[in-house]
Structure 1
Amino acid sequence: MVTQPQDQTPRLPALYPCTVHHTRRAPTRYALRHRTYMWLVDLDRLPVLPRPLRPLARFRAGDHFTGRAPSLRAALDGFLAEHGIDLRGGRVVMLAHARVLGHVFNPLTLYWCHDLDGAPRCVVAEVHNTYGQRHAYLLHTDPSGAATVAKEFYVSPFFPVDGQYQMRLPLPGERLHLSLTLERPGSPPFTATVHGVRREATAPALLRLALRRPWSTLAVSAAIRFHGIRLYLRGLPVQPRPGHRTPESAQ
Structure 2
Amino acid sequence: MKLLRYGPSGQEKPGVLDAAGGIRDLSGIVDDLSSATLAAGALDKLKGTDIESLPTVSGNPRIGACVGAPGKVVCIGLNYSDHAAETGAEPPKEPIVFMKATSAVQGPNDTVRMPRNSKKSDWEVELGVIIGKHAKYVSEADALSHVAGYCVANDVSEREFQAERGGQWTKGKSCDTFGPIGPWLVTADEVADPQDLDMFLDVNGKRFQTGNTKTMIFSVAHIIHYCSQMFSLMPGDVIMTGTPPGVGLGVKPNPVFLKDGDEMYLGIAGLGEQRQKVVAD
Q: Same fold (TM over 0.5)?
A: no
